[in-house]
């Protein structure tokens, strides 16, 4: 009974006419809501049907003014909160300002019950004082392995594992690396909004910046950063100058000047999520030219099932989770170098797609973001204990101090 009340939706008026307040889900994220549409957006837009969702982003900085927040209500019913801090403030001032802004937000919203949902352990620096009714860590990436990760990140993640009531992991390899670090940890790998990407199988109007490109076209979409093997991309373009390589996505953490330039290599920049099917509809092959390094050791690319839902044959470098979940089933081709990618692509462009698509659709029928969120919701219900006494934690180490 209490668990059902904890996840209650608004059920109309009480006898006195007051509306029941729903549980507030406070998400603390290193990713921006308006960045690439991926796991947080898929999950939290579904969570917003049950919870009052606030997505608290990392700060932006301005030359003058006092700390403040910019609050935007999105059509998904997620409220995005962006701290705006004065440029040049020290790390301590940065942390203190965010703590005050977070406290002001919670004071204004007055949540009846609070679910803290972390995507970054760094948020503990300004939020460890709050005592939510449930603490969740959705560990979607191994952030400590990414370029520019602060040295304190690993210690903060250990603290977050101590604090969290439940942990979700975003891929099989990541789960295997973390499964012994928490008593209540569950694998929820990348999923799919199949109907959205299946639009690419239909006749669609070609985007203007792609329509003039010759065929065949090999395409990539996603974040372009240290996880991409730029030398591999350049070599592939050189080996087949008549093939067009379409590269969609924002360039982050690497200098755009380091991107290889070729007449048949087209860096298109970021595109909105709703635009992607129209681009994929014009591709002959999808490529995932990931480097094999520490940053890609635990990744489980969401774009893998998205390519498949679009009906686009895929070639990936040997990323462990892609090999195990898709390559071994013959759904994705695996190639470790540019000549191998060329050979695989030539085979795929000659191969009839009907049998492959039937196997793809059978596989994708077992997964969806709706199913992922339903599974997470059941675990959230089971993890919540009404009236439970939550242990006090050390503000500096995160160690339990007794109940």
Residue 148 belongs to what domain range? 2-191+369-383
Q: Which two tokens stand for residue 321?
A: 């989770």
Question: Do 219 and 129 share a structural domain?
Answer: no
Q: For residue 225, what are the contacts with CB-CB under 8 A and spacing of at least 6?
A: 147, 251, 252, 253, 254, 295
Residue 105: its pLDDT value, please?
97
Question: Do 210 and 133 share a structural domain?
Answer: no
In a domain, 275, yes or no: yes
Q: For tokens 């969740």, what's the residue?
A: 136
**pTM strictly above 0.75:** yes
Residue 386: its pLDDT value, please?
55
Distances (CA, A) of 204 to 200, 211, 276, 311: 7, 11, 11, 14
How many Cβ atoms from other residues are within 10 Å of residue 312's Cβ? 24
Question: Do 181 and 234 share a structural domain?
Answer: no
In a domain, 396, yes or no: no
In a domain, 400, yes or no: no
Question: Do 308 and 283 share a structural domain?
Answer: yes
Torsion of the alpha carbons at 206, 211, 215 and 216, rounded to the nearest 10: -50
Distances (CA, A) of 50 to 96, 278, 362: 31, 32, 30
Question: Do 185 and 246 share a structural domain?
Answer: no
Residue 385: its pLDDT value, please?
63
Question: Do 44 and 137 share a structural domain?
Answer: yes
Q: For residue 217, what are the contacts with CB-CB under 8 A and spacing of at least 6?
A: 210, 243, 244, 245, 246, 282, 283, 284, 285
Q: Are 161 and 124 in contact (CB under 8 A)?
A: no
Q: Which two tokens stand for residue 243?
A: 């093939």
Predicted confidence (pLDDT) per residue in 100-116, tens digit: 999 999 999 999 999 99
In a domain, 399, yes or no: no
In a domain, 388, yes or no: no
Domains held by the chain: number: 2
Torsion of the alpha carbons at 378, 380, 385 and 390, rounded to the nearest 10: 170
Query: Which CATH number goes with the domain that contains 175?
Result: 3.40.50.2000
Question: Do 345 and 274 share a structural domain?
Answer: yes
Residue 93: its pLDDT value, please?
94
Question: Do 75 and 61 share a structural domain?
Answer: yes
Antiparallel, parallel or unpaired: β 185-187 and 68-73: unpaired
Question: Do 221 and 172 share a structural domain?
Answer: no
In a domain, 389, yes or no: no
In a domain, 264, yes or no: yes
Predicted confidence (pLDDT) per residue in 35-67, tens digit: 999 999 999 999 999 999 999 999 999 987 899
Question: Do 201 and 168 share a structural domain?
Answer: no
Predicted confidence (pLDDT) per residue in 279-314, tens digit: 999 999 999 999 999 999 999 999 999 999 999 999
pLDDT in tens, the chain (403 residues): 233 323 333 333 232 233 445 799 999 999 999 999 999 999 999 999 999 999 999 999 998 789 999 999 999 999 999 999 999 889 899 999 999 999 999 999 999 999 999 999 999 999 999 999 999 999 999 888 888 888 899 999 999 999 999 999 999 999 999 999 999 999 999 899 999 999 999 999 999 999 999 999 999 999 999 999 999 999 999 999 999 999 999 999 999 999 999 999 999 999 999 999 999 999 999 999 999 999 999 999 999 999 999 999 999 999 999 999 999 999 999 999 999 999 999 999 999 999 999 999 999 999 999 999 999 999 999 987 654 544 433 333 333 322 2
Question: Do 172 and 35 share a structural domain?
Answer: yes
Question: Do 285 and 231 share a structural domain?
Answer: yes
In a domain, 308, yes or no: yes
């Amino acid at each position: 009974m209490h668990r059902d009340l904890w996840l209650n939706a608004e059920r109309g008026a009480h006898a006195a006419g007051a509306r029941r307040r729903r549980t507030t889900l406070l998400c603390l994220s290193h990713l921006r809501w308006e960045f690439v549409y991926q796991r947080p957006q898929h999950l939290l837009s579904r969570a917003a049907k049950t919870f009052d969702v606030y997505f608290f982003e990392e700060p932006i900085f301005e030359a003058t003014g006092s700390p403040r927040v910019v609050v935007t209500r999105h059509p998904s019913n997620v409220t995005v909160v962006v701290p705006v801090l004065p440029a040049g403030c020290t790390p301590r001032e940065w942390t203190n300002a965010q703590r005050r802004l977070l406290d002001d937000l919670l004071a204004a919203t007055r949540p009846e019950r609070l679910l803290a949902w972390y995507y970054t352990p760094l948020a503990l620096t300004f939020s460890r004082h709050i005592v939510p009714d449930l603490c969740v860590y959705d560990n979607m990436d191994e952030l400590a392995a990414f370029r520019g990760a602060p040295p304190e990140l690993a210690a903060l993640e250990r603290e977050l594992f101590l604090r969290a009531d439940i942990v979700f992991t975003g891929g099989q390899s990541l789960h295997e690396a973390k499964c012994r670090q928490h008593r209540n940890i569950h694998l929820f790998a990348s999923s799919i909004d199949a109907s959205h990407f299946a639009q690419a199988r239909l006749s669609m109007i070609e985007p203007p910046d792609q329509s003039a490109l010759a065929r065949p076209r090999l395409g990539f979409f996603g974040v372009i950063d240290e996880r991409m093997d730029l030398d591999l991309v350049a070599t592939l373009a050189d080996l087949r100058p008549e093939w067009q390589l379409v590269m969609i996505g924002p360039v982050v953490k690497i200098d755009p000047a380091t991107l290889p330039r070729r007449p048949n290599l087209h860096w298109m920049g970021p595109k909105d999520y709703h635009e992607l099917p129209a681009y994929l509809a014009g591709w002959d092959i999808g490529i995932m030219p990931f480097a094999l390094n520490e940053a890609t050791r635990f990744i489980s690319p969401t774009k893998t099932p998205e390519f498949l839902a679009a009906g686009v044959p895929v070639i990936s470098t040997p990323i462990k989770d892609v090999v195990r979940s898709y390559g071994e089933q013959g759904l994705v081709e695996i190639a470790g170098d540019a000549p191998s990618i060329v050979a695989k692509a030539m085979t795929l462009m000659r191969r009839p797609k009907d049998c492959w698509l039937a196997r793809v659709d059978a596989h994708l029928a077992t997964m969806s973001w709706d199913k992922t969120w339903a599974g997470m919701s059941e675990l959230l219900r089971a993890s919540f204990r009404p009236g439970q006494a939550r242990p006090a934690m050390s503000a500096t180490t995160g160690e339990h101090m007794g109940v």
